[in-house]
Structure 1
Amino acid sequence: MARTVLLTIGRLPKALELARAFKNYGYRVIIADPFRWHLTGVSRDVARSFQVAAPADDSEAYLDDIISIVERESVELIVPVSEETMYVTALKPRLDPGVTLFSMPQNLILTLHHKKRFIDFASALGLQVPETYDILDHRAVTLAETTDTVIKPIYSCSGRGVRYLKRGESIAQPPHSEHLIVQRRIEGDLYSTFSIAQNGCVCTTIIYRAAVMSGTVAVCFERIPKQQVILDWIDHFIRKTSYTGFVSFDMILRPDGQAFAIECNPRATSGIHFLKNEDLCTAILHVTGDARPRLRTALFMQQLFPCLTETQKSFFNRKNFRSNLHHLMTARDVTWQWRDPLPLLLMPIMASQIIARSICKGETFGEASTFDISWRERDTQNHINA
């Protein structure tokens, strides 16, 4: 009888990537998602899909729904995928010994997700990070007076609420806004990373950068050659934390060759698409020994429909249009497979909830796709009280 794996989101392409990998490895794949219909649900590699409570609305109901699915479907492995990871990791103490949750304990995950606490945590490990203060700290004012800064919510995701300020601009916190941090802006090249780790050992790390942007979210991305200083930073972090699970960083590589991590995403990111699908599962299960998972030959990957949208929007900007069109026509789509065509062909229907919210609320696709699964400040207070 096939073992069962539960993916805790299905609406995103990285969930589809994982579903295909686990099915190829012999698992029975099931999905839990607050959306009634979603991208991965129409894949031939998914056995069943369950609608659950939205964790951002009712985290306890969400966790109860997940536990019920685990017990009813005899799940052996739970793989959190995206922003819901912050909630799912609370399940660790409630799971039977025969059920594995591919992630770290919730306290560490929340520390890494918090934009200020991550900086403090990494600094304590001896790793390079930019000077960062709570916006109410008097040192934040001094920092903003002397250098360019970045202001962002402590639990920002998909670029939500991020502002770039020139030296001397006011950093006053707007009323009724989420709590903010002020960070020194590091000049250099911005890279994103995606790693899979097991017990403090790095199974693989992908370094990539944006090629086409939708707001502050990349919808077409380019894999770049290994940057050893970035790899060394990540290896040190994973070793010191004995990390297991997915972990991703946004890094700045300065012209002098020094690497700074500006934030951490303790979850999967788009870098997952650069791994050969048949090797992805072996990396997660750590059955490759010393062999590293193989990479796809494609250097550019895209999310077709968002990339198409951005290309159309740039029509009257000749430089951007030519670049976006080139990527649209040449980059490999992250969802398309001849043997499993429905996710791409039905994407406009499966993503209709996201599209509708994006239009009605004026949100980016990234914001609209995570609004009901993203961790909020009120969840932190509930976590402390619990």
Structure 2
Amino acid sequence: MPRTVLLTLGRLPKALDLARGFAAEGWRVVVAEPHARHLCGASRSVARSVGVPPPAAGRRAYLEALAAVVREEGAELVIPVSEEALHVAHLPALLGAATRVLAMPPDRVLEMHDKARFVDAMRRIGVPVPDTAPLGSAAARGLAARGRVVVKPVHSCSGRGVRVLAEGAALPEPDPRAPAVVQRFVAGEEFSSCTLAHGGRVLGTAVYRGVQFGGTVAIAFERVAHPAVESWIDRAVAGLGWSGFISFDLRVDASGRPFGIECNPRTTSGLHFLDPRDLVRAILSPADAPPIRFRPQARLQQFWSCLTETQLSLFRRGGGFGANLRHLLTTPDACWNARDPWPLLSMPWTAWPILREAARRRVPFGEVATLDVGWFEGEDLQDGHG
């Protein structure tokens, strides 16, 4: 009988890579997903999809539902995919020792998710980060007086609530219900990453940059070789003693020095550049796994999002329609697999709940894709309300 892995989200292409990799290694793949239909549900690599309540409806109820799925399906391994990783880090307390959850302890995961605590942790390790201070503090006002700054919520994802202010611009008033930080803006190119690590040792890292965006979220991206960024990541992972997935956003200044601007203690789109079967083998045997190889494609896109952006650019002055169209027609899709075509072909139908909400809010797909599974401060894990 095949062993069973549980993926805790199925709506995003990153989950599809993991599902295909585990299925190729002979595992039975089960997906827990709040949406009734989702991307992975159309894949031949997924044996079963199980509905669970979203964390936004109550953290405790979500975790109890996941624990029930683990027991009913006999899952030996649980892998969080995206923003729900902040919640899934609490799952081991509800499970027995027979089930492995690919997550660091909750306090470590939450530390990396917190934009202020992440900076403090990197300073302790000794890797470069920009000067950062709480919004409303004298230090924050000093940063804003000296140059451009970025104001960002302490808990945010997909660029929600992030603002770049000019030198001397007035800072917004602090909101005790939504704490934020002010960070020195590092002029230079921005890079993102996705790393799988074990015991502070990097098993594989993909460094990439966005080449097309829907709002603040990259919908097309290219992998790059950047030794200075990779060295920064190696040092950060070693200093944290990290195991599991971890991802960073960095900016590289004019001198070539990288600065870590924030961390996502989960997967990012960089996962698409890692060979799925190598990735799974490294998850299953991290102590003796060889380095994870890259997929042959150095550029990938999310076709439906890029199609929408290309269509919209036709009606914008200086919208770059020609460049967008060339990119659309020449860049492989991150989800496409000729032996498993339906996830890509059926995506407009499986992703309809997200598309509908994005249209209602008039924001890009990526900004609403994880709203119901994100981590927001002030909710009570124990009483399940929120």
Instruction: Tell whether the structures are fold-level matches, with TM greater than 0.5.
Output: yes
Aligned to 1:125: 125
SS of 1:377's equivalent in the other structure is coil
Aligned to 1:89: 89
Answer whether contact 1:198 1:286 (CA < 8 A) is retained: no
Letter in 2 for 1:43: S
Gapped regions of structure 1 (runs ≥ 5) = none
Deviation at 1:383? 7.5
1:53-84 deviation line (CA, Å, top 9, x unaligned): 11022100000000000111111000001000
After TM superposition, list the pairs within 5 Å mapping 1:1-386 onto structure 2. 1-173=1-173, 178-225=178-225, 227-286=226-285, 289=288, 291-315=290-314, 316-317=316-317, 320-379=320-379, 382=381
Deviation at 1:289? 3.4
Answer whether contact 2:301 2:331 (CA < 8 A) is retained: yes
Letter in 2 for 1:162: V
The CA distance in 2 between the partners of 1:142 and 1:189, in whole Å, is 25
SS of 1:65's equivalent in the other structure is helix
The CA distance in 1 between the partners of 2:167 and 2:382, in whole Å, is 37
Percent identity reads 42
The CA distance in 1 between the partners of 2:47 and 2:151, in whole Å, is 43
Q: 1:230 to 1:197 in 2, by over 3 A?
A: same
Answer whether contact 1:192 1:248 (CA < 8 A) is retained: yes
Letter in 1 for 2:95: L
The CA distance in 1 between the partners of 2:217 and 2:382, in whole Å, is 29
Answer whether contact 2:59 2:381 (CA < 8 A) is retained: no
The CA distance in 2 between the partners of 1:159 and 1:269, in whole Å, is 13
Deviation at 1:283? 2.2
Deviation at 1:384? 12
The CA distance in 2 between the partners of 1:51 and 1:356, in whole Å, is 20
Answer whether contact 1:203 1:286 (CA < 8 A) is retained: no
The CA distance in 1 between the partners of 2:280 and 2:216, in whole Å, is 29
The CA distance in 2 between the partners of 1:319 and 1:12, in whole Å, is 27
The CA distance in 2 between the partners of 1:374 and 1:299, in whole Å, is 29
The CA distance in 1 between the partners of 2:67 and 2:383, in whole Å, is 22
The CA distance in 1 between the partners of 2:342 and 2:288, in whole Å, is 35
SS of 1:123's equivalent in the other structure is helix
Letter in 2 for 1:19: A
1:194-246 deviation line (CA, Å, top 9, x unaligned): 10011211100111000100000000001112x22211111111112221111
The CA distance in 2 between the partners of 1:90 and 1:176, in whole Å, is 26
Q: 1:189 to 1:21 in 2, by over 3 A?
A: same
Runs of 4+ with deviation above 3 angstroms: 174-177, 286-290, 316-319, 381-385
Letter in 2 for 1:63: L
Gapped regions of structure 2 (runs ≥ 5) = none
Q: 1:138 to 1:265 in 2, by over 3 A?
A: same
The CA distance in 1 between the partners of 2:319 and 2:360, in whole Å, is 30
Please report the TM-score for the alignment, with normalisation by the length of structure 2. 0.96
The CA distance in 2 between the partners of 1:229 and 1:319, in whole Å, is 33
Q: 1:118 to 1:175 in 2, by over 3 A?
A: closer
The more displaced of 306-315 and 10-19 is 306-315
The CA distance in 2 between the partners of 1:341 and 1:44, in whole Å, is 9
1:166-194 deviation line (CA, Å, top 9, x unaligned): 01111122668722111000011100011
Please report the TM-score for the alignment, with normalisation by the length of structure 1. 0.96
The more displaced of 102-111 and 314-323 is 314-323
Answer whether contact 2:88 2:103 (CA < 8 A) is retained: no
Deviation at 1:278? 2.4
Letter in 2 for 1:347: M
Q: 1:106 to 1:121 in 2, by over 3 A?
A: same
